[in-house]
Amino acid sequence: MDATHKHHQYHLHRTLDLAQSHLLAGRPEVAGKLCHWVLKQQPNNLEAAYLLAKAAAHQQDFATAADLVSALPVQVLEEDYLKNYFSWHQQAIRLDQAVLVFRRLAQHNPAACHVWYYLAATCLEIGDLEGFGQAARRAALLQPTSGGFNFDLALLYERAGLAAAAVRQLQHCLSLNSNNYYFVSLYASILKKIGKADEAMTYYRRLMVEPFDMPSPHERDTNYLMNFICTTTYTPEESFAEHRVWGDRLCAELADERMQHDRPADRAERLRIGYVSSDFCTHPVAFFIEPLLSTHDQAGFEVYLYSNVEKEDYITAQIQQRPVVWRRIWGKDDAEVCRMIRGDRIDLLIDLGGLTQRNRLPVFARKPAPVQVTWLGYAHSTGLPTMDYRMSDAVADPPGMTEHLHTEQLYRLPGCFLGYHPPLDPPLIEPLPSQTAGCITFIACNNLAKTNDRLLGWWAEILKQVPGSRLLMKDRHFVSDTAFREGWLDRFAALGITSDRLGLLGTVKSVHDHLAFLSQADIALDAYPYTGTTTTCETLWMGVPLITLAGPSHVSRVSASILTCIGVPELIAQTPDDYIRLAVGLADDAERLVYYRTHLRAMMQASPLMDFESFARKIEVAYREMWQRWCTQDQQGGRL
């Protein structure tokens, strides 16, 4: 090799090194130009072609990135390459091409675990569950000792709706490393989702007390506290105590950042209301808040929405069209959000999420608004001493019953604390299923996270006392995961209920289909202690009476509030035995069932639950009174 050629090769390598540096520095356009120059000099330079693909991907041109890696004339088995190959084809919506390549790589390299992993991921994305299962099992067999690799497989199993396999995979991960935050956290999360919140608490408590290296203590705390409202082994007092400890600790940590408010108090001015939520999208909270946003008195209130939505959708677009000031806060740190709220001169800041996922309660801990209120999205106190009020009503929080379970002052709205807007173009009310089936069909449609062994025992007893009756339940895992389904059948079998009495069905594609599914039942059975909200409203809207048990705290009394509001308090039980008795008695009363079927929807429409104008006015009265209280305290030198 002569000196000129060596110099040329050296110059090409230096150019590629420079291109890599520009790419790492966030300058993909420059990196791309350098790669193009190298490819003109040396068209078969694989490094330049791959680097050019990376530059295209950095510029969101995934189609070009996919074309470039597909054109490489060699088989590459390195994980980074396989990961990018999958990701770029996924973004370019070309996974039907990628699956062929991964299958060919697996054929020629059957011992390459990462090839099988990305084949599994690709099969999952294109809906080939059989191919996914084979590839995932093969990948696990080839890499039995890598906790991280097996954790990635567990994530795939969870996304595939294979909860039983995800649990087994995570148990293997924990056997390899029981002190990994991600392993313990995901294991607890899946246990909660499948109706084992009490078992999940063991692992959530480990995360709280052991010195794990974790990416987000706030996310850990949120998951831990949320799990309490699904458990049966902890009292409401114990749950509240944990929330209060967390709230006090957070506010103490942020004490130096807590904002002071000394604006002149003017009770007659147009109040600025700020709503903070991660659910201004296709989510139940959006359907409850949207009617209020449409009917707020624009002369008396200026409305700001602080949206922490990660993935906006058509519901987001609809909400943005309401008479509101829209602020995106996703990705902004808490201090910046506080400055934004302070700059908007918000008078009352309303939290719509509580401790649900992606909440922004650390913002409220800094007190960026004079008056702070929590409402709607979380069936529990936030535990924050900086949250002034929690809006509820006299059924969900009877006076004298639940004050000791709140750091906030309870503000009880007249009637129900909710306003429900049903989906557009709902299915028509169908005749009672029992009139043609000859037997009673019960339905339990709440999220499985709200179920527990005690509740299943009540349902089993109801089925036993109503001969020939059936129970319908719905969850995606019932169809996608045979082992999971069999586990649930075993749980009922242990209670004496055979499979012919059960309909364990999969989820449906649309809200319309969901409402039609509810129509297949004569009677609905509510969850406990975490009762329904959206599910309760949807069930009643389809003419299906719901039996609920009103417990000692807000989380177990929301359905009771809704039933009272629409005029059917006779469906509310006060004890477990009463819950069973009411369900069995209603099953034996065909005349009442027909009455509910034909009247419940009209009763809802005529009730305060769906009187949106009146609901907006009573919310506004609450806001004005809260503001006046603050103004009075200001004049007396006693700000909240």
Q: Where residue 500 sits, what CATH number does that domain have?
A: 3.40.50.2000
325 and 442 in one domain? no
pLDDT digits (tens, 9 = 90+) for 127-159: 999 999 999 999 999 999 999 999 999 999 999
**Are 323 and 271 in a shared domain?**
yes
Q: Are residues 376 and 449 in the same domain?
A: no
Which H or E run contains 93?
A: none
> Based on the domain organization, do 448 and 591 belong to the same domain?
yes
Same domain, 403 and 297: yes
Residues 593-629 have pLDDT tens digits of 999 999 999 999 999 999 999 999 999 999 999 999 9
Sheet with 301-307, strands from edge to edge, namely 325-328, 301-307, 271-277, 348-351, 371-374, 389-393, 409-413
Domain that holds residue 62: 1-74
Domain boundary among 42, 74, 106: 74
Of 47, 41, 48, which is closest to residue 5 (Cα–Cα)? 41
User: Is residue 39 classed as helix, strand or coil in its secondary structure?
Assistant: helix
The reply to whether 132 falls in a domain is no
327 with 444, same domain: the answer is no
Residue 265 per-residue DSSP state: P
- What is residue 8's predicted lDDT score, i.e. its pLDDT? 57
- Give the C-alpha separation, 458 to 576, whole Å: 7
pLDDT band at 634 (very low <50, low <70, confident <90, very high): low
Q: Are residues 365 and 292 in the same domain?
A: yes
CB 473 within 8 A of CB 546: no
Write down the pLDDT at residue 637. Answer: 46
Q: Report whether pLDDT(265) > 90.
A: no
Instruction: Tell me the pLDDT band of 551, cut-offs 50, 70 and 90.
Output: very high
Residue 266's pLDDT band, with cuts at 50, 70 and 90, is: low
User: How far apart (Å, rounded) are the C-alpha atoms in residues 578 and 547?
Assistant: 10
pLDDT digit string (tens) for 286-320?
889 999 999 999 999 999 999 999 999 999 999 99
Is residue 239 in some structural domain?
Answer: no
| Structural domain contains residue 160 | no
400 and 460 together in one domain: no
Q: Are residues 553 and 440 located together in one domain of the fold? A: yes
In this structure, the answer to whether residues 598 and 460 fall within a common structural domain is yes
In a domain, 268, yes or no: yes
Q: Is residue 125 part of a domain?
A: no
The CATH number assigned to the domain holding 52 equals 1.25.40.10
- Our count of domains for the chain comes to 3
User: Would you call 392 helix, strand, or coil by DSSP?
Assistant: strand
* Token reading at 590: 């065909």
Q: Specify whether 485 is located in the same domain as 585.
A: yes
- Residues 243-264 have a mean pLDDT of 92
Say how far apart CA 526 and CA 545 lie, in whole Å: 10
Instruction: Give percent above pLDDT 90 in the chain.
Output: 86
Residue found by looking up tokens 């999360």 in the block: 189
Tell me: the pLDDT tens digits for 332-352?
999 999 999 999 999 999 999
